[in-house]
Structure 1
Amino acid sequence: MTPPVPKPSFATRLRNNFLTGLVICAPITITLWLTWTFINWADSWVTPYIPARYNPENYLKYYVPGVGLLVAVVTITLIGFLGTNLIGRSIVDFGERIVHRMPLVRSIYKSVKQIFESVLKEQSNSFKKVGLIEFPHPGTWVLVFIATDVSGEIAARLNEDGEEMVAVFMPPTPVPTAGFLMFVPRSKLKVLDMTPEEGAKLLISGGLVMPEWKPGKKPQ
Structure 2
Amino acid sequence: MVWLPLAITLWVLLWLVGLLDAVFASFLNGLSAVTPESLGPRLERLHAIPGLGVVLVFSAMLVTGALVSNVAGRWWVKQWDRLFTNIPIVKSIYNSVKKVSDTLFSSNGNAFRTALLVQYPRQGSWTVAFQTGSPSGEVASHLGADFVSVYVPTTPNPTSGFFLMLPKADVIELDMSVDEALTYVISMGSVAPGAQASKIPVSQ
* TM-score, normalised relative to structure 2: 0.81
Partner of 2:89, secondary structure, is helix
Instruction: Specify which of 208, 212, 218 is matched with residue 190 of structure 2.
Output: 208
Question: Is residue 91 of structure 2 the alignment partner of residue 96 of structure 1?
Answer: no
Q: Check whether the contact 2:173–2:198 (CA below 8 A) recurs between aligned residues.
A: no
- Could you say which residue in structure 1 is the equivalent of 2:45? 58
Give distance in 2, aligned partners of 1:35 and 1:56: 25
Instruction: Specify which of 56, 59, 62 is matched with residue 77 of structure 1.
Output: 62
Instruction: Specify which of 145, 157, 163 is matched with residue 181 of structure 1.
Output: 163
- Could you say which residue in structure 2 is the equivalent of 1:137? 122
Percent of matched pairs sharing the same residue:
28
Question: Is residue 157 of structure 2 the alignment partner of residue 151 of structure 1?
Answer: no
Question: Is residue 3 of structure 2 the alignment partner of residue 25 of structure 1?
Answer: yes
Partner of 2:139, secondary structure, is helix
Partner of 2:122, secondary structure, is coil
Max Rg structure: 1
How far does residue 34 in structure 1 lie from its aligned partner after superposition? 1.0
* TM-score, normalised relative to structure 1: 0.76
Q: Check whether the contact 1:57–1:64 (CA below 8 A) recurs between aligned residues.
A: no
Give distance in 1, aligned partners of 2:8 and 2:25: 25
Give distance in 2, aligned partners of 1:131 and 1:205: 17
Q: Which amino acid aligns with 2:3?
A: C
Partner of 1:103, secondary structure, is coil
How far does residue 62 in structure 1 lie from its aligned partner after superposition? 5.3
Give distance in 2, aligned partners of 1:168 and 1:34: 29
- Could you say which residue in structure 1 is the equivalent of 2:35? none
Give distance in 2, aligned partners of 1:111 and 1:218: 36
Give distance in 1, aligned partners of 2:164 and 2:132: 10
Give distance in 2, aligned partners of 1:115 and 1:42: 24
Seen in structure 2, the aligned counterparts of structure 1 residues 136 and 87 have a Cα distance that, compared at 3 Å, is: closer
Q: Check whether the contact 1:193–1:219 (CA below 8 A) recurs between aligned residues.
A: no
Q: Which structure 2 residue ranges, 5 or more long, are not aligned?
A: 32-38
Seen in structure 2, the aligned counterparts of structure 1 residues 74 and 203 have a Cα distance that, compared at 3 Å, is: same
Give distance in 1, aligned partners of 2:93 and 2:70: 26
Give distance in 1, aligned partners of 2:50 and 2:122: 55
Give distance in 1, aligned partners of 2:83 and 2:195: 52
